[in-house]
Structure 1
């Protein structure tokens, strides 16, 4: 299954995994970047990049787990 997903992304197709995320490939144009160490401007060549967009279901699960962890930490913290 992973191979099929990878192959579809390589072909430039959008892959949506319900309740998880969407993977897409997009083209980025050539642009001028800057070397942070020297300040020198350098051209960045055009390329294709993959984007990952989490579904709302996944975002909510992560937020819920984070909130629960914060609550447990408060309960377990020693009294000062």
Structure 2
């Protein structure tokens, strides 16, 4: 299991998506720089560009979770 997680981490870090049939898809998304507010001081700040990972559940898994399968 640890090896699988390491492979997934390195794959996502390189910007590639991961699709697991019947389970779902992990997708890397690029977020552009944007204006934000520092919650501690209330001052304006610029948030740097960054990458995030989202997960989309496969229809089969969603159906099983909801008892529709």
Q: With the length of structure 1 as denominator, give the TM-score of the two structures.
A: 0.65
Structure 1 residues 62 and 41: CA distance shift in structure 2, 3 A: farther
* Partners of 1:6 and 1:44 in 2: CA distance: 24
Which structure dedicates a bigger proportion of its chain to helix?
1
Q: Would you say 1:3 and 2:6 are equivalent positions?
A: yes
What is the aligned counterpart of 1:18 among 9, 21, 37? 21
- Following superposition, the deviation at residue 41 of structure 1 comes to 3.2
* Whole-Å separation in 2 of the counterparts to 1:56 and 1:41: 42
The alignment covers a number of residue pairs equal to: 65
Q: CA deviation at 1:56?
A: 0.9
CA distance in 2, matches of 1:58, 1:39: 43
Q: Please, which runs of 5 or more residues in structure 1 have no aligned partner?
A: 66-80
Which has the bigger relative contact order, CA under 8 A and spacing at least 6? 2
1:14 deviation in Å? 0.8
Query: Normalized per residue, which structure has more strand?
Result: 2
Query: Whose Rg is larger?
Result: 1
- Match 1:50 to one of 49, 53, 57: 53
Which stretches in structure 2 are left out of the alignment for 5+ residues?
A: none
